[in-house]
Amino acid sequence: MRISDILQLGLSNLWRTKLRTMLTTLGVIIGIGALISMVSFGTGMQKNVTSIFYDNDLFTSLRVLPMKIDINRALSGDVGSAMGAMKSSRTIDDSVLCALGNMPEVSIVYPEISFSVKLRYRGQEIRTELRALPQAMGQYPPHKEMGWGAFFSSDSALEIIVSERQLHNLKIHLPDGPLNVARTDTGMVYTILPSDSLLGSELEAVTLVLDAEKIAENPLIGMVQPPFREQVTRLKIRGIKKSADGFERPQIENTALIPIGAEKKVPRFEFSSMWTLLGNMGQKNKGYTALYVRVHDLRQLSVVRKRVEEMGFGVIALADQLEEIKRGFIFLDTALGAIGAIALIVAALGIINTMVMSILERTREIGIMKAVGGSEGQIKGIFFIEAAFIGVFGGVFGVLLGWGVTRIANIIANMYMVRQGATGHVELFYLPLWLVAGAIAFAIAVSLLAGLYPAMRAARVNPVEALRHD
C-alpha cells in the first residue's frame, strides 16, 4: 500500500465511527484546553512580574551601600551582624561618586536622597516621599514618558513631578477633553491641560526643621513639646505621572520627584530612617546613604559590581534575583502543567479504549489486508494515522478552547478587580507561540503513544484466525 492509501484508510475508519471519534477527540480537546489554561496563567504571571522590572529598566542598575551587610541575617533579626557590618562601613562621598562616574560601563550615577514631606495644594494635603533625581534620568524609563508635562528643565529648578494618584489623594481630578500640545525651551514636546490646569502652578512642600529660637528660649522644650516648626517650600508642577496600567507600582506612584540640585533648597530635619541614623553614628563625614548606579548594558553589570566590591562597598542588584525569579516560575509552570496534563492522560486512556474496540470490530478486515500482502508496518501505520489525526484535531481545538477560557477568565478577573478599586487592565494569561506549538505537539505525541499498543496488537493479528472471525 502507498502512503496515500494508508492515509485514506485511516481517515475513512475514523469517519465510519464518527460519534466515537468525536467523543475521543473531545477528551483530548478538554485535556489540551486545561493544559493551556494552566500553563498560560503561569507564563502570564511571569510576564507581568518580569515586565515591570524590564519596563523600568531595573536590571541594568544597582545600589552601592557604605557597608557589606548580609541582608538575610539582618531581616532575620541578627542585629549583631548588622551592627558589626555598620562599624566596618566606608564613607560614600563625592570622590566615590566621581570614581564610579568615570567607569566606562556606567551611564549615570547619583546619590539616593529621599525624605518625607507634606504636599499641600488649595487647602488639601497628603504625606508622601520626596525623591531627588538628576535631569539626565528623564531619558530612561520609567521617567522617559510622562502622562502630562515633561521632566525637569534643570537640576537646580524648584520643580516637582507628581503622580495622578497623588493628585487624586489631594482631591484633584484632571479635566477631560482634548489636550493642547506645546514645545518647551529645551525642545521637548509635552501636553498642556486647559488654562486652569495644574502644570505650571505651585504647590507647597511642608517639612519640619529644628526651631533654634524655641530651643534657645527653653532648652527643655523637647520634653514638653517637639522643638520643630514647619517650613514651606513652593515648587512648580512640571509633570504628572499617569497611573500605571496593570500591576501597581507603588514605589513610583507614591513618590514625588524633585531635581537633585533643588533638594538642597528644601530645609528639613535629617532623619529618614533608623538605618540612616545608625549608619551615621560616629562618623564625622556622614557621606551619602547609598548611590544609584546605572550601566549601559545588563552584561556590564557584573563587571561594575566586582569593581565596587573591590572598593569595599556593599552592592544590591535586582539582576541577582532574575534567575531565581525565573527558576521559581519554572516550578510553578511545571506544577500547573502537571495538573493540566492529568486531563490529557485520561484522554489518552480514552484513545486506547477507542482503538482497541476498533481492532475487535475490524479483526476480519485486518485479516483480509494481511492475506492480500499487507505488512505489519502498514497495519501499524493505519492505526498510527488514526491516532495522529485525533491528536491534531484535539490539539488545535484544545488550544482554541484554552484561549477562549482564558479570555473569559481574564474579563471576569478584571471586572472583580475594578470593583475592588484597582485601576488599569491586567493580562493574567499569556499564550506565546511556543506554548501553542508545544501543546499541539504534546497532543500528537500523547495520541501516538496511546495508539502504540493498539497498533502493535493489530499487527500481531493472525490472518487465518481473523478470516474465521465473525
Least confident of 212-226, 332-346, 351-365, 373-387: 212-226
Scan for cell 493489530, then name that residue: 458
More reliable by pLDDT, 183 or 417? 417
Scan for cell 483480509, then name that residue: 368
> What percentage of the chain exceeds 70 in pLDDT?
71
φ, ψ of residue 366 to 5 degrees: the values are -65, -40
| 227: preceding bond cis by omega (within 30 degrees) | no
C-alpha cell at 460: 500481531
* Sign for the pseudo-dihedral over CA of 414, 418, 422, 423: positive
Nearest to 110 by CA among 154, 68, 64: 64
Spell out where 180-277 has E strands: 180-183, 189-192, 202-210, 228-241, 255-259
Cα gap 202→200, rounded to integer Å: 7
Nearest to 162 by CA among 249, 263, 252: 252
What pLDDT shows up at residue 181? 38
φ, ψ of residue 426 to 5 degrees: the values are -110, 130
C-alpha cell at 319: 539582576
C-alpha cell at 299: 552584561
Examine the pLDDT at 177 and tell me if it is beyond 60.
no
Spell out where 11-135 has E strands: 61-65, 106-111, 113-121, 124-133
More reliable by pLDDT, 125 or 323? 125
pLDDT tens by residue, 285-340: 567 889 999 988 878 888 888 898 888 888 888 766 666 777 777 787 788 778 77
pLDDT tens by residue, 232-242: 999 999 988 88
Are the CB atoms for 110 and 288 separated by under 8 Å? no
More reliable by pLDDT, 191 or 34? 34
Least confident of 211-220, 235-244, 252-261, 387-396: 211-220
Cα gap 210→148, rounded to integer Å: 36
Are the CB atoms for 427 and 58 separated by under 8 Å? no
What pLDDT shows up at residue 388? 85
More reliable by pLDDT, 470 or 67? 67
Instruction: Please give the average per-residue pLDDT across 126-136, as a whole number.
Output: 91
What pLDDT shows up at residue 84? 47
φ, ψ of residue 119 to 5 degrees: the values are -95, 130
At 1 the three-state DSSP class reads: coil
Examine the pLDDT at 75 and tell me if it is beyond 70.
no
* Side-chain half-sphere exposure of 289, counting CA atoms within 13 A: 13
Tell me 147's DSSP state. S
Q: Which helix (H) or strand (E) holds 302?
A: helix 301-310
Which residue type is seen at 457?
A: R
At 157 the three-state DSSP class reads: coil
Buried b (16+ CB within 10 A) or exposed e, 339-374: ebbebbeebbebbbebbeebbeebbbbbbebbeeeb
More reliable by pLDDT, 80 or 60? 60
Q: Which long-range contacts (CB under 8 A, 24 or more apart) does 9-16 make?
A: 9/382, 9/385, 10/382, 10/383, 10/385, 10/386, 10/389, 11/385, 11/389, 13/358, 13/362, 13/382, 13/386, 14/386, 14/389, 14/390
Kindly report the average pLDDT of the chain as a whole number.
Answer: 76
Nearest to 50 by CA among 464, 454, 430: 430
pLDDT tens by residue, 21-33: 888 888 888 888 8
Q: Could you tell me the pLDDT band of residue 421, with boundaries at 50, 70 and 90?
A: low
Q: Could you tell me the pLDDT band of residue 401, with boundaries at 50, 70 and 90?
A: very high
CB atoms within 10 A of CB 444: 19
φ, ψ of residue 420 to 5 degrees: the values are -85, 0
Examine the pLDDT at 37 and tell me if it is beyond 80.
yes
More reliable by pLDDT, 8 or 305? 305
